[in-house]
A and B are shown apart, each in its own frame.
Chain A
Amino acid sequence: MSETVAIPEDNDSNLLPRRSVVYCGACGMPPEYCPYGPDFETHCDPWLARHHPELRALLAERRGTVVTAPASVKPTTDVPTPARPAHPWTTADRLTAFYEQYVPDKVDSVPALLEKYAGKEDKLFLALTKKYGPEPSDPYYSDSADYDDDEESNDDDADDDDNRVPADGADVTSDSNQKNKKRRGAAAKKVSEGTVATRVVVQKISQRKRRHLTVIQGMETVPGIKLKDASKMFSKRFAGSSSVKETAVGTKEIIIQGDHQVDVAEMIVDKFGVAESCVFLDMDGDVVPLR
């Protein structure tokens, strides 16, 4: 088809001309397939606009859409329009609106920021809200009934980031409500499961004379942890076998060979970031808090 997409390279033969192919820096696909990916608006399109603007125009033309300036550069001075816009904000819109409210001089740096924080937008907005204050709300959501300012202010904490494990069980339940709101696109697929309060019980079971097992119950209530991975970490740390078993009740438990009751409890606190108040030791039938 058209040669404009790929730049011809030095041919190693007339028989078999070789060309260098442009692959999207964000998703790795040929750019013509980018719109099918989940992060086209947030990652691919900005990347393309920055590195291959002529290619971007060409592809947009082929798709039959009107070529506009990158959404991030577009001046959107009339921010809070009373009419509800047709679609929710993209990340670029959200960031632009933020800068327009607090530091209008810096609006130009929005594309660069987006590039820098691609994939880490949550952190960017968290830092921004800390520095400047609550971010402006998206007019698309403005008339939904349960959307108020109070939620907006700490909304960034609720944004999903699996590495940051909420420390307390109670914390999780209060956040889960807001969690479902801001997500769009690929992130929307991740469903929060944190409605159960975190409670981990470590138990020691004696088998024969000096043989023991350490059983961890309730590990699945810790958000952001896969039981299998956790089990593997335990087996590495304690140099013994470790497995995930389903109990009769339907919950799951991790069984580790050897007597590591206290060590395991401490490891759960240190490595997995579970609050000490959520970890319990089972001492011959008495459940006692770790500390």
Chain B
Amino acid sequence: MFKRFDPSHDTSTSTQVKASIQRSLKSQILDRHKSITEDTLEVLLPKKSPLVQYKVGSHMMLYCKRSEHEDKSPTDEPVLFQHRDGPIMPTLKLLHRYPTLKFTQVTVDKGAIPFLLGGANVMCPGLTNPGGEMPADGSEQDEHGFDKPGLKKGDGVVIYAEGKEFAIAVGTMTMSSLEVRGKNKGIAIELMHYLGDGLYQTDEI
């Protein structure tokens, strides 16, 4: 999605995010990523300093933190993005900076790394091979008594790599983790943002 992202061409209007919208952003993140607490999110996105929203293309929103400078116009540092009504996900630079900030995460095995760095989607075996990791299924049951999958289709995940410290990519699940384990074939995660893409290379807008 951000492979050829170039802020000077691809971003159009920028607007300040309303406080109410910022609240709903936060509640969405809290809802989707269980291990993030309200307090940590409040530190990350304080109420006082509103976010700035950029339109990227037609369906992508990029949320940035604005920092003021004395001698030049303010610069915006990308922190979150959202495609259509999809999950709201953080940028990799943000993830690297806050190691304790745990979004829902998966781990891929070593063999997948070079492909991910080229922007390829994650295939099922990358998650199921030894070295790969996904949240366990069946920790909760739905109202009919069936196991709930650890990850649902459409969930946003942060992708880590086996033996590496830093997150390598961010993507959305194209099937549930139950299916990934069952089928073990085809695309498991559609990649949105990875190390080395245009968004990663953008420090500020």
Contact = CB atoms under 8 A, between A and B. Distances in A.
B166 interface: yes
Contacts of B37: 15
Contacts of B201: 28
Interface of A is mostly: loop
B96 interface: yes
Contacts of B39: 15
Contacts of A62: 163
Interface string B156-174: 0000000111101000000
A1 B165 contact: yes
B97 A33 contact: no
Contacts of A1: 165
A33 B43 CA distance: 29
A20 B96 CA distance: 8
A30 B40 contact: no
Interface residues of A, number: 21
A16 interface: yes
Contacts of A18: 97-98
A12 B114 contact: no
B136 interface: no
B72 to A, nearest CB: 22
Interface residues of B, number: 24
A115 interface: no
A30 B96 contact: yes
Interface of A: 1-2, 5-6, 12-13, 15-21, 28-30, 32-33, 36-37, 62
B117 A36 contact: yes
Interface string B81-102: 0000000000001001111110
Contacts of B43: 12-13, 15-16
B108 interface: no
A33 B100 contact: no
B118 to A, nearest CB: 9
A29 B195 contact: yes
Contact of A16 (B44, B93, B196): B44
